[in-house]
Amino acid sequence: MKIRITFLFIVLLLQMGVAQPPPDLLKYSLAEIVAMAREQSPAALQVATVKENRYWQWRTYKANYKPQLTLDGTLPDFSKTNQPVVQREGNIEFWPVYNDNSSVQMNISQNISLTGGQLFAGSYLQRFTDFNQHKTQYNGNPVLIGFSQPLFAFNPLRWDRKIEPLRYEESKKKYVEDLENISRDATSLFFELLLAQINLDIARKNRENSDTIYTIGEVRYTLGRLPRNELLQLKLTVLNARKAVAQAQLRMETATLALKSFVGITGPNSIELALPEQIPAFRVDEQTAIREARRNRQKAVEFRRLLLEAQRDVAKAKGDNGLNANLIGTFGLKNKAAFIPDIYQHPKDQQTLRIGFGIPIMDWGRSASRIKTAQANQKYMQYLVAQEEINFEQEIYTQAKLVNMLREQVDLNREADQTGLERYEISKNRYRVGDLGVTDLNIAQQEKDQARRDYILTLKGFWDAYYAIRSLTLYDFEQNKAITEETM
């Protein structure tokens, strides 16, 4: 009885010291780490920059369909030189030229997406000053309107009206999807650090337990109740436990740096993570997941865009078949005068109409080859998109099944974790009273540690799958609503 009391007293002395957290310890939950990663991480800043870039590309596209106002001019166009002048006899004389020929022109133009042509209007003024003769003249078009219309040509404006809105919609969905992927990456790093911290905690507790068991073993060995080989086995367990603590400490520090770097946490503060054991109470319906993914995800819009781009390339190959024609017509008023106001007094009308064309006589099948190539690429894109759509649905279906399965695994592994811990405590108490061998005690410890790690890994798998299904569908199954930029 006295020996047992002594054993218990030694054990209490070894277990009285409880480590206190350092004063600069930062505590975070999974939700807090995910929120920080989406707001301030370098990856989130990059995603926001890409989003802004694509927004301005969209604005550039929209500007192509609005009137463009330009002001062109040459002020001054001064020249003082000698120019060759052909005489009546055929010889050349060099005459001094000393003049200024300045001009200014204002134009407004409007693209016509339906036809691919352009309407324009403008005003032109030219001033010529001859310094040798001290004479100034003005020439100009007070008003000039016209149009330019390609004939039989490919019309990029009409195709851009179909494709660019899809591209912009795709970029907005891609932004939301990228943020969800950041959440997924942050979750993975969160659990890497959490697992490292738990492994360190396990290693420290195992070291404390090993020290306690070894102390008990020494007392038993002194009393002649424990063989030396078992005492040496206990000593080896202590050494291995100390080595495991050092290794776990290094892994924990490495995981801490990785999480801090990704999330954007600065400073030397230590981090402690809370175990996210509260599992959201929802199940993922596979057909709902596929339907919402087709409605919300960037990939679904990309499929439509790729097929339209393939059609556009065929139309371009047919439009650029070598037959080129362009119809240009203008109507305006013109005048010349010695003073600027006189340009606008009684101007005369001016008209032009021109059709330019180019017809290939022989191109050795080059145009036909371009068309056939574009058509073959269109077929290939159709087959590729069809296969991608199958993979698209299969990935979502598999992920939805995985979420539901992992939810059940979390409950099972939680129970296994509690069972392993309880069994180890019983085994440890039995060893203290001499009712259990060291081998059975080590087995109970290993099974307890493995059950704990399995539980954490299952939690990690569930939360990875949780953010993966959100990213693949852009749908919040907890709130039963689509994830958009406005609802984030």
Q: Residue 101's beta-bridge partner residues?
A: 128
Rounded to the nearest integer, the mean pLDDT of the chain is 86
pLDDT tens digits, one per residue of 187-245: 999 999 998 998 898 888 888 888 887 888 888 788 887 788 888 888 888 898 899 89
Assigned fold of 2-63+158-316+368-482: Outer membrane efflux proteins (OEP) (1.20.1600)
Q: Is the pLDDT of residue 432 over 80?
A: no
Q: Is the pLDDT of residue 19 over 50?
A: no
Rounded (5°) CA angle 395-401-406: 120
Q: Which positions ≥6 away from 285 have C-beta within 8 Å?
A: 400
Q: What is the C-alpha separation between 309 and 315, in angstroms, rounded?
A: 10
238-259 average pLDDT score: 91
Q: What is the C-alpha separation between 408 and 415, in angstroms, rounded?
A: 11
Q: What is the C-alpha separation between 314 and 370, in angstroms, rounded?
A: 9
Structural domain boundaries in the chain:
2-63+158-316+368-482, 68-112+117-152+324-359
Which of 100, 108, 104, 120 has the alpha carbon at shortest distance from 72?
104
* Confidence bin at 80 (pLDDT 50/70/90): confident
pLDDT tens digits, one per residue of 306-365: 999 999 999 988 888 777 888 888 888 888 888 888 888 888 877 777 777 777 777 777
- Residue 253 identity: E
Token pair for 487: 């609802």
Alpha-carbon torsion angle 441, 444, 448, 449, nearest 10: 60
Q: Is the pLDDT of residue 475 over 80?
A: yes
164-188 average pLDDT score: 93
Greatest Cα pair distance in the chain: 142
Q: Look at residue 5 in the predicted model and tell me its pLDDT.
A: 41
Q: What is the C-alpha separation between 428 and 262, in angstroms, rounded?
A: 41
Q: What is the C-alpha separation between 401 and 196, in angstroms, rounded?
A: 28
Q: Look at residue 6 in the predicted model and tell me its pLDDT.
A: 45
Of all helices (H) and strands (E), which one includes residue 327? strand 324-337
Q: Look at residue 12 in the predicted model and tell me its pLDDT.
A: 42
Q: What is the C-alpha separation between 217 and 223, in angstroms, rounded?
A: 10
Q: What is the C-alpha separation between 121 and 108, in angstroms, rounded?
A: 5
Half-sphere exposure at residue 388, Cβ-oriented, CA atoms within 13 angstroms: 15
Q: What is the C-alpha separation between 65 and 63, in angstroms, rounded?
A: 5
Q: What is the C-alpha separation between 285 and 475, in angstroms, rounded?
A: 12
**Beta strands 271-273; 26-28: pairing state:** parallel
* Confidence bin at 488 (pLDDT 50/70/90): low
Which of 276, 233, 300, 206 has the alpha carbon at shortest distance from 466?
276
Q: Look at residue 255 in the predicted model and tell me its pLDDT.
A: 92
Q: Is the pLDDT of residue 14 over 70?
A: no
End-to-end Cα, the chain, rounded Å: 66
61-84 average pLDDT score: 89
Q: What is the C-alpha separation between 384 and 307, in angstroms, rounded?
A: 10
More confidently predicted of 84 and 268:
84
Q: Is the pLDDT of residue 401 over 50?
A: yes
Percent of the chain clearing pLDDT 90 (strictly above)? 39
Q: What is the C-alpha separation between 100 and 81, in angstroms, rounded?
A: 12
177-188 average pLDDT score: 93
Q: What is the C-alpha separation between 341 and 356, in angstroms, rounded?
A: 36
Q: What is the C-alpha separation between 433 and 8, in angstroms, rounded?
A: 10
**For residues 77 and 103, is the Cβ–Cβ distance under 8 A?**
yes
* Confidence bin at 47 (pLDDT 50/70/90): very high
Q: Look at residue 167 in the predicted model and tell me its pLDDT.
A: 93
Half-sphere exposure at residue 293, Cβ-oriented, CA atoms within 13 angstroms: 26
Distances (CA, A) of 278 to 30, 337, 407, 476: 11, 88, 11, 17
Q: What is the C-alpha separation between 457 and 462, in angstroms, rounded?
A: 9
Q: What is the C-alpha separation between 96 and 80, in angstroms, rounded?
A: 7
